[in-house]
């Protein structure tokens, strides 16, 4: 019996950070143990905001190197660039015929831009390109082309996956056949939202990220910028409301966590000491991956080879799916 399919992608819009790792890379790679996995670099999604070709290329390499440094096996998982599978965009066109404008109006990414424009006295659609507006439809094409069963996503992407389901169900209902597999969201509940430097969700939009592969000295310097309250060294502190401890739990063993928790509650622990503890466990965890990532970024030829092979595998699968859909829709 064939295994179920898992699919997800990540936009090359900034250097991968801790939020990306725990929210996307790590759980997605773990899925490869039980699923056939298709993972892509969403460069056409990124084109909505990245207009510099050199930046786009370099960030795409960074994402590819991150997948591999974090443990993705290209022999067991398909990894490719979205732009290298043209059938995706044909499916995108098909899906647009079944996606209502009202549905797109409700997409949180679009609504957030509109709301910001209104608050700043601008036209509601100022700076909104059609690519941003139809982002959920292209995302649906990325997923549905593989008959994906599950999609590992962050909580902020669950709504877009629900839109994928809505569009797929519309097509299946219209043709009275299960032409498209209905995917399910797979949200990693253990980690939830990863805390950024300022206590908010770690996000490139908030400029509060901790890049995943910072050199050791820069990593420590960045950790020391984490926002804390004004409590003195002598005061007991609550680890459950602390940005530093929230990150510490992601890297430390249960024994290490319990030990630091006791030190928080007893008093006598300064914020600088807490941040140093975080740095030490984080650096120990990330160092092996950082070394592999740096080596991969020095070998772009190898990265190109892996991505090309992945695109060939993806195209073979999606070509068959599109041939099937064309026949079912009566367009070919």
- Mention every residue, 6+ apart, whose C-beta is less than 8 A from residue 247: 18, 194, 195, 210, 226, 278, 282
Query: Is pLDDT of 167 > 80?
Result: yes
- CA–CA gap between residue 200 and residue 197 (Å, rounded): 7
Per the CB < 8 A criterion, the answer to whether 22 and 194 are in contact is yes
pLDDT at 125: 93
Q: What is the arithmetic mean of pLDDT over 312-322? A: 98
Please tell me the predicted confidence (pLDDT) of residue 41: 97
pLDDT of residue 14: 87
The whole-angstrom separation of Cα 309 and Cα 153 is 25
- Find how far residue 159's CA is from the centre of its chain: 14
SS3 of residue 145 by DSSP: coil
CB 144 within 8 A of CB 164: yes
Q: Is 247 within 8 Å of 55 (Cβ atoms)?
A: no
pLDDT at 156: 73
pLDDT at 191: 53
pLDDT band at 66 (very low <50, low <70, confident <90, very high): very high
115-159 pLDDT, tens digit per residue, is: 999 999 999 999 999 999 999 999 999 999 999 999 987 777 789
Mean pLDDT of the chain: 94
Contact present, 167 and 2 (Cβ < 8 Å): no
Binning pLDDT at 50, 70 and 90, where does residue 1 land?
low
**184-203 mean pLDDT:** 81
Mean pLDDT of 146-175: 92
Alpha-carbon distance 105 to 205, whole Å?
A: 21
Q: What is the pLDDT of residue 203?
A: 87
In this predicted structure, what is the pLDDT of residue 190?
Answer: 52
- Which whole number is the average pLDDT over 17-42? 92
Residue 177 reports pLDDT greater than 80: yes
Please give the sequence-ordered ranges of beta strands (E in DSSP) within 118-263, or none if there are none.
150-152, 184-186
Q: Is 212 helix (H, G, I), strand (E, B) or coil?
A: coil
pLDDT for the residue numbered 189? 61
Quote the pLDDT of residue 187: 77
Q: Which residues contact 145 (CB under 8 A, 6 or more apart)?
A: 85, 87, 88, 91, 317, 318, 321, 322
3-state DSSP call for residue 148?
A: coil
Q: pLDDT tens, 230-267?
A: 999 999 999 999 999 999 999 999 999 999 999 999 99
Please identify every residue annotated as catalytic: 118, 201, 204
pTM of structure: 0.90
**Angstrom distances, CA of residue 103 to CA of 88, 116, 139, 162, 202:** 21, 20, 14, 10, 27
Residues 32 and 186: their CA atoms lie apart, in Å, by: 14
Residues 92, 89: Cα–Cα separation, whole Å:
5
The whole-number pLDDT of residue 157 equals 79
């Amino acid at each position: 019996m064939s295994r179920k399919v898992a699919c997800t992608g990540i936009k090359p819009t900034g250097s991968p950070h801790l939020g990306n790792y725990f929210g996307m890379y790590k759980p997605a790679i773990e899925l490869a143990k039980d699923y056939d996995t298709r993972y892509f670099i969403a460069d056409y999604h990124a084109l909505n905001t990245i207009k510099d070709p050199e930046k786009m290329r370099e960030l795409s390499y960074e994402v590819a190197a991150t997948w591999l440094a974090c443990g993705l096996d290209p022999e067991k998982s398909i990894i490719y660039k979205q732009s290298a599978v043209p059938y995706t965009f044909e499916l995108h066109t098909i899906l647009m015929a079944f996606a209502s404008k009202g549905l797109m109006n409700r997409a949180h990414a679009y609504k957030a831009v509109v709301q910001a424009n209104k608050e700043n006295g601008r036209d509601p659609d100022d700076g909104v390109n059609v690519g941003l507006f139809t982002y959920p439809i292209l995302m649906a094409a990325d997923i549905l082309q593989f008959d994906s069963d599950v999609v590992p996503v962050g909580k902020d992407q669950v709504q877009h996956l629900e839109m994928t389901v809505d569009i797929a169900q519309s097509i299946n209902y219209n043709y009275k056949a299960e032409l498209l597999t209905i995917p399910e969201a797979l949200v990693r509940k253990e980690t939830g939202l990863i805390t950024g430097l300022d206590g908010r969700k770690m996000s490139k939009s908030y400029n509060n990220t901790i890049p995943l592969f910072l050199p050791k000295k820069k990593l420590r310097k960045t950790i020391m910028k984490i926002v804390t309250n004004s409590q003195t060294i002598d005061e007991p502190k609550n680890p459950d409301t602390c940005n530093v401890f929230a990150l510490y739990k992601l890297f430390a063993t249960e024994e290490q966590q319990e030990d630091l928790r006791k030190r928080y509650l007893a008093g006598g622990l300064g914020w600088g000491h807490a941040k140093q503890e975080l740095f030490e466990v984080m650096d120990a965890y990330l160092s092996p991956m950082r070394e592999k990532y740096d080596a991969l970024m020095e070998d772009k030829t190898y990265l190109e080879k892996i991505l090309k092979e992945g695109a060939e595998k993806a195209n073979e699968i999606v070509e068959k799916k599109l041939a099937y859909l064309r026949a079912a829709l009566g367009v070919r």
